[in-house]
Amino acid sequence: MKKLITLVTALSMVSSIAAENIAIVGGKVHTMTSAGVLEKGTVLLSDGRISAVFADGEVPQGYKVIDASGKVVTPGFVGALTSLGLVEVSSSSGVVDSSVEKTPITNTGAAFDVQYAINTDSSLIPVTRLEGVTSAATTVSNGEFLFGGKGAVISLDGFAPVLKAGAFMTVDAGSGGAEISGGSRASLWVMLDKVFNEAKNAKDNLSAEKPWYGINTRLDVSALKQVIAGDMPLFMRADRASDIRQVIAFKKRHSSINVILVHGVEAWRVANQLADAEIPVIIDPEYNLPGGFDQMGATLKNAARLHNAGVQVAIGMDTHNIRLAAQHAGNAVANGLDYEAGLASLTKVPAQILGLESQLGSLVKGARADVVIWSGDPLEVTQAAESVFIGGKAIKMESRQTKLRDRYLTLQDSEYTMPSQYERSAQ
C-alpha cells in the first residue's frame, strides 16, 4: 500500500508541473474569503496553485490570459458527501465498492478505508467535473455496519485522486443506525458510547498476541482512535429533532470528536443548539416531505433557518448527480438562504468540514487551483460551467455523455446515413 501512495503522490506532482501559468481576468469573482466578491477580478494560477487573487492590477508576464468578462468565477465545487469513484452503476452490475458486506476485518465498520477503492477511470468523474465539481468527499454509502469506514476526499482530475485519506467517517444516528443496533435507539446510543469508550480506553497498539474481547475489532479501534483525536470528523446522520439533540449531547460527552450533522431534515428546529455546539450540517435543502415519522418537520426553509441561526450549511449529497448540488443550493436561496451562503454551501463550508479549507473551496493564495468559469450565476439552472481548472489545468470539457450527444446529434443531422457505431466526434 505504501507503494501505491507513493505512486499517487508522484503522479500528482507530474500533473502540477505540467500546468501552465494562467490568468483569469475580468470575471465576477466569488473568492469565498473575506475579500468577498470582486466585480472584475483577476485570478492567477501557477504551478497548480492559486498564486494571487486581486481586483485591479496588471497580469504579470508569462501568464496565459483567459478573458472571463461577463462571466462568473468561483472555486471548484466540493461534493460534500458522495460515493464518486466507488460506483459505476449501482444496480445489478457487479462489484460496487460503495457497499460492503460482512468481513472479518471489522465488526463495527470503522476499519474500512475507501482510499484503496477509487477508480480514477470512472465515467462519473468527467461527467461530474465538467459541471464544475472539482473534488468530493467519497465513502461507502450503504452497508450492514454501524460506521461507514474511513472516507476520502478526492480530486476529480482523473488520475491522482486522493487528496486526503481518512478524511471523515459516517455513522447513522437515526432510524438506520437503530435498525442495525437491535432495532431501537435504546440500543443505538448505548452502542455508540460503548464502541467509542472502548476505543478510547484501548491501548494504542493492541497486540495481536493478547486476547481482545471488544465489540470493535483491533482495526476498528485504531480507526476510531483517529475520530476520537478529532482528526477524522464524524458525520452523524439524523433527521428528527430528538435525534439531533442526542447528537448534540453525544458531542458534549465526547468533546474531542469533531461532529458534523448529516441530512438533518428537522435540523432547523434545533438550529440554535447546533450553532452553540458549533456543529455544521450537510443537508439536501430540497427535501420537504415527511418521508417517515422522523421527518415530519421537513421544509424548504431548512437551509435558510439554519444559516440565520449561525449554523454552517453544506449542500450536496449524491453520486451520479452530485452535479445537481448547485441547483439544490439555488433552491435553498430561492427559499430564503443568503446567496453567498448558498455558494459557500458548495465550496467553503464542505472544505472546512473536511479540514481542507486552505486547499479547497476558496480562491485564496496557496489553495489548489480548482477554479470554474461559469456562463452566469452558477446556482441558476440555465447557466453552466464553461471552463474548469483542476490543479491549475484546464480539463477537457468532454465525457461519455457529450460523446453520445455528439454522435447522435450528428446522425440526426445527417439523416442517419452512417451506421451509428462508425460515427465519432472529431477529436
Q: Which residues are at the interface with another protein (CB under 8 A)?
A: 88-93, 123-124, 127, 241, 266, 269, 286-293, 295-301, 320-321, 323-324, 327, 330-331, 333-334, 379-384, 400-402, 404-405, 408-409, 412, 416, 420
Q: Shortest distance, CB of residue 81 to another protein, whole angstroms?
A: 17
* Least distance (Å) between residue 360 CB and another protein: 24
Provide φ and ψ at 386, rounded to 5°. Answer: -105, -35
The three three-digit cell numbers of residue 281, written as one number: 450540517
Reduce the DSSP state of residue 38 to 3 states and report it.
strand
Nearer to another protein, 178 or 228 (CB): 178
Query: What residue has cell string 468578462?
Result: 69
Quote the least distance from Cβ 421 to another protein, whole Å.
11
User: Using only C-alpha atoms, what is the Rg of the chain?
Assistant: 22
C-alpha cell at 420: 451509428
What are the start-end ranges of the E strands in 286-325? 313-315
**Residue whose CB is less far from another protein, 214 or 297:** 297
β-strand pairing of 393-394 with 371-374: unpaired
**Nearest distance, CB of residue 300 and another protein, angstroms:** 6
Min dist. Cβ of residue 122 to another protein (A): 10
Of 60 and 183, the one with the shorter C-beta distance to another protein is: 183
Q: What is the 8-class DSSP label of residue 222?
A: H
Smallest distance, Å, CB 263 to another protein? 14
Burial classification of residue 146, based on how many CB atoms lie within 10 Å of its CB (0-12 exposed, 13-18 middle, 19 or more buried): buried
DSSP structure string for 98-154: TEE---TT-SSSTT-BGGG---TT-THHHHHHTTTEEEEEE---EESSSEEEEEEEE
Residue 240 or 254 having the CB closest to another protein: 240
In the complex, the smallest distance separating the C-beta of residue 176 from another protein, rounded to whole angstroms, is 14
Comparison of 135 and 295: residue with beta carbon closer to another protein: 295
For residues 187 and 321, which CB has a smaller minimum distance to another protein in the complex? 321
Beta carbon nearer to another protein, 14 or 289: 289
* Complete DSSP assignment for 58-75: PPPTT-EEEE-TTSEEEE
Give 406's contacts (C-beta < 8 A, 6+ positions apart). 425
Residue in the block written with cell 472584475: 40
Q: How far is the CB of 186 from another protein (least distance, A)?
A: 21
Nearer to another protein, 14 or 89 (CB): 89
Q: 291-305 burial, b if ≥16 CB within 10 A, otherwise e?
A: eeebbebbbbbbbbb
How far apart (Å, rounded) are the C-alpha atoms in residues 283 and 316? 7
> What kind and span of H or E run contains 29?
strand 22-30
